[in-house]
A and B are shown apart, each in its own frame.
Chain A
Amino acid sequence: KSALTFKVLAECPVTKARASLMTLPHGAVETPVFMPVGTQGSLKGLLPEQLEKLECKLILGNTYHLGNRPGTDLMKKAGGLHNFMHWSHDLLTDSGGFQMVSLLELAEITEEGVKFKSPYDGSECMLTPEHSIQIQNTIGADIIMQLDDVVSSTTTGPRVKEAMERTIRWLDRCMAAHQFPEKQNLFPIVQGGLDPELRKECAKELIKRDTPGFAIGGLSGGESKDDFWRMVHISTDILPKNKPRYLMGVGFAEDLVVCCALGVDMYDCVFPTRTARFGCALTFTGQINLKQQKYKEDFSPIDPECTCSTCTNYTRAYLQKIVTHETVACHLLTVHNVRFQMRLMERIRSNIKTGTFVEFVKSFMLGIYPDKKYPTWSKDALEAVGITLS
Chain B
Amino acid sequence: MQLSFVVFKTMKKFCVEKTLKTSVGSTRLGHLELPLFTKAEEGNDGSSNGRSKIDYATPMYFLHTQTGSIPHITAEVLKLIYPTASDTSGQIPPVQISLDATAKFIEPLSKFENGVGKFVGLSEHPIFLTIHDPLYLLRSGHNDKFGIALWSRHGRRPLSPKQFHEAVTAFKPSISQILSDYDVNPEISGMKRLKKSLERAEEYTSYVIKQEETTEREKKKNTGFFITIEASWFLMDEGLATKAVLRLLESQHQIEGVVLAGLSDRFVKKKQEDEVKKDSNGKGSGDSERMDICETLDIELLDKMLQNLPANLPKYVPGPFKLPEMMDLVARGVDLFDSSLASRMADYAEALLLDSVEAILPSISTTMVAMPSSLSEGLAERADKAERQEPPSNSEEGEGAVISLKDKKYFDDFGPLSRFCTCYTCRKHTRSYIHHLYATDELLGPVLIQIHNLSTLDRFFSIMRALVKENDSPESLLEKSALMRNLLKARILIKIEKEDKVAVPSV
Contacts and interface: CB of A to CB of B under 8 A. Distances in A.
Interface of A: 40-50, 53, 65, 69-70, 74, 77-78, 84-86, 296-297, 299, 309-310, 313-315, 317-318, 321-322, 325-332, 335
Nearest to B451: A47
Given A70-B432, A309-B75, A42 B444 contact: yes
Contacts of A321: 67-68, 102, 104-105, 108
Interface in B105-154: 105, 107-108, 111-112, 119-121, 153
B433 A41 contact: yes
A329 B68 CA distance: 11
B433 A86 contact: yes
Interface in B408-436: 411-412, 414, 424, 428-430, 432-433, 436
B160 interface: no
A310 B77 CA distance: 11
Given A40-B440, A335-B74, 19 more contacts: A41-B433, A44-B442, A45-B443, A45-B444, A47-B77, A47-B80, A69-B436, A74-B411, A74-B436, A78-B432, A84-B436, A86-B433, A314-B121, A315-B119, A321-B68, A321-B104, A325-B67, A328-B74, A331-B77
Nearest to A296: B108
Contacts of B69: 322, 326, 328-329
Contacts of A329: 69
Interface string B45-76: 00000000000000000000011111111111
A78 B112 CA distance: 49
Contacts, number: 122
6 pairs of A and B residues whose beta carbons are closest in the complex: A45-B443, A309-B76, A313-B121, A328-B69, A42-B444, A313-B75
Contact of A331 (B107, B108, B443): B443
Contacts of B153: 325
B446 interface: yes
B112 A317 contact: yes
Contacts of B104: 321
B440 A74 contact: no
Contacts of B76: 50, 53, 309, 313, 335
A322 B72 CA distance: 12
Given A78-B414, A86-B428, A309 B74 contact: yes
Contacts of A65: 440
A315 B116 CA distance: 12
Chain B interface residue number, banded? 35 or more
B97 to A, nearest CB: 12
B447 interface: yes
13 contacts: A41-B436, A44-B442, A49-B80, A84-B433, A297-B107, A313-B75, A314-B121, A317-B108, A318-B68, A318-B119, A322-B68, A329-B69, A331-B443
A78 B429 CA distance: 12
B114 to A, nearest CB: 8
B112 A299 contact: yes
A96 to B, nearest CB: 16
B23 to A, nearest CB: 46
B439 interface: yes
B482 interface: no
B412 A328 contact: no
Contacts of A313: 74-76, 121
A335 B107 CA distance: 28
A86 B429 contact: yes
B77 A50 contact: yes
A331 B71 contact: no
Nearest to A334: B443
Contacts of A41: 433, 436-437, 440, 442
B443 A74 contact: no
A249 B172 CA distance: 47
Contacts of B73: 328
Contacts of A74: 411-412, 432, 436
A314 B121 CA distance: 5
Contacts of A43: 444
B66 A40 contact: no
Given A40-B442, A318-B120, A45 B447 contact: yes
A42 B108 contact: no
Contacts of A85: 433
A42 B432 contact: no
Contacts of B72: 45, 327-328, 331
Q: Which of the listed residues A78, A296, A321 has the most CB atoms from chain B within 10 Å of its own CB?
A: A321
Nearest to A332: B74
A317 B412 contact: no
Contacts of A40: 436-437, 440, 442
Contacts of B67: 321-322, 325-326
Contacts of B112: 297, 299, 315, 317
